[in-house]
């Protein structure tokens, strides 16, 4: 007997020779559907793996009475309809036949159009995309871009067969968590076929890549995008470290100025530059510690300082009550070009009179002294 509280049938719908089946196992095959339904009559058409979770299907009988027979049988049976041990919920469809009209995105080709849902463009790198899709075959080219539908990518394989394998396996799935930044819980792939057959990639960059042409010029502003992901001993991807941190500030109930950020981040070392900006409707900031240098035969590497700050501050809030929560990652920048001296940007390597910024009605839960003791070591 089914232990689910869901009714297995809906009795209010008008009978149809097309049945709608829900709660199917992932990637349920057509053969499994036919095996379940064929005792009740002739199956003339099926449509499998529909719905956001690909766990629904439609089955069309040759005759209306055959569909009614199946619904009636399981409505009165003590044993529910099951496939692979999962209870299947059955109801009449509001359609009277299955029409398998293929849109252009359903016509197989060697280039996939991938929409990556639930992330910002800078949260999924081209290296991550390559790692996921190259599991199915040689990836020739990748181009990423932003459209009204969200962050998207075009991925070119050798042939349509390889592309189809990747689409069938990944459509509706999430990129593995260990390949995503910690604050991203999941991101889903919506995959269709592109009308393109050969992508025109002009530069190697963090937005485009041609893996068939090692001599293609590199976009100078995006050379850092060529860095391959570093994998730690646990098999998880590690971010390439940098002396510049990218801070995303969540739940902005109070203003965050460079003075506030300087107080927070200077607890771990000398802060050279800060730049605050708005992106994708949120507030972000770049915080620069001194870069790697060699002095008197002694090596000083403030990438370590940035790493300690990142480890200590990730997920913490600047103000009590959960306000101005910090999410930190390493930036591709190594030296910020800060020109203005304001509440939004500051170059502390240049002598300028500093001014304190007081936010009315709020007191930061961190001060430089308390931070130093709280995160010492």
The tens-digit pLDDT sequence of the chain (377 residues) is 444 444 444 445 688 999 999 889 877 888 888 999 999 999 988 888 877 677 888 999 999 999 999 999 998 888 889 998 899 999 998 888 887 655 555 678 999 999 998 888 778 888 899 999 999 999 999 999 887 778 899 999 999 999 999 999 898 888 888 888 888 877 889 999 988 899 988 888 888 899 998 788 876 544 443 344 444 444 455 567 888 999 998 887 788 888 999 999 998 889 999 998 887 778 889 999 987 543 433 334 567 888 888 988 988 888 887 788 899 988 888 888 887 788 788 898 887 544 433 333 444 555 444 443 344 33
**Full 3-state SS string of 130-192:** HHHHHHHCCEEEEEEEEECCEEEEEEEECCHHHHHHHHHHHCCCECCHHHCCCCCCCCEEEEE
- Residue 328 has phi, psi (to 5 degrees) of -120, 140
Q: How many CA atoms lie within 13 A of 183 on its CB side?
A: 16
CB atoms near residue 298 (< 10 Å): 7
Cα–Cα distance for residue pair 141/118, rounded to 1 Å = 24
What's the pTM?
0.37
Closest CA to 346 of 267, 260, 221: 260
Reading the block at residue 216, the tokens are 């293609």
Cα–Cα distance for residue pair 369/288, rounded to 1 Å = 21
- Residue 162 has phi, psi (to 5 degrees) of -65, -40
Cα–Cα distance for residue pair 350/56, rounded to 1 Å = 63
The answer to whether 336 and 275 are in contact (CB under 8 A) is yes
Which residues, in sequence order, are CB contacts of 43 under 8 Å at separation 6+?
33, 34, 37, 59, 60, 61, 62
What sign for the dihedral angle of Cα 372, 373, 374, 377? positive
Place of tokens 């459509």: 171
């Amino acid at each position: 007997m089914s232990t689910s509280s869901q009714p297995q049938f809906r009795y209010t719908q008008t009978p149809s020779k097309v049945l709608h089946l829900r709660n199917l196992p992932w990637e349920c095959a057509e053969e499994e559907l036919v095996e379940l339904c064929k005792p009740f009559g002739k199956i003339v058409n099926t449509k499998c793996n529909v719905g956001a979770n690909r766990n629904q299907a439609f089955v069309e009988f040759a005759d209306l009475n055959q569909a009614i027979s199946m619904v009636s049988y399981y409505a009165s049976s003590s044993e529910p309809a099951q496939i692979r041990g999962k209870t299947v919920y059955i109801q009449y469809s509001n359609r009277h036949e299955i029409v398998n009209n293929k849109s252009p995105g359903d016509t197989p080709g060697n280039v996939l159009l991938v929409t990556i849902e639930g992330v910002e463009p800078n949260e999924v790198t081209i290296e991550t995309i390559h790692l996921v899709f190259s599991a199915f075959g040689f990836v020739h080219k990748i181009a990423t871009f932003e459209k009204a539908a969200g962050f998207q990518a075009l991925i070119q394989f050798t042939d349509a067969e390889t592309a189809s394998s990747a689409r069938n396996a990944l459509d509706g799935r999430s990129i593995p968590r260990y390949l995503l930044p910690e604050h991203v819980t999941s991101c889903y792939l919506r995959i269709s076929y592109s009308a393109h057959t050969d992508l025109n990639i002009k530069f190697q960059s963090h937005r485009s890549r041609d893996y068939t042409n090692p001599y293609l010029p590199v976009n100078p502003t995006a050379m850092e995008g060529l860095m391959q992901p570093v994998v730690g001993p646990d098999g998880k991807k590690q971010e390439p470290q940098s002396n510049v941190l990218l801070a995303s500030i969540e739940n902005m109930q109070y203003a965050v100025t460079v003075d506030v950020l300087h107080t927070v981040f200077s607890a771990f070392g000398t802060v050279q530059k800060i730049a605050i900006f708005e992106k994708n409707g949120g507030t972000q900031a770049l915080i620069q510690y001194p870069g790697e240098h060699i002095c008197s035969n002694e090596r000083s590497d403030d990438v370590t300082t940035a790493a300690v700050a990142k480890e200590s501050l990730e997920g913490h809030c600047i103000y009590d009550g959960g306000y101005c929560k910090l999410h930190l990652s390493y930036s591709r920048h190594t030296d910020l070009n800060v020109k203005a001296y304001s509440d939004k940007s500051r170059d502390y390597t240049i002598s300028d009179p500093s001014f304190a910024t007081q936010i009315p009605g709020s007191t930061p839960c961190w001060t430089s002294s308390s931070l130093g003791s709280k995160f010492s070591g």
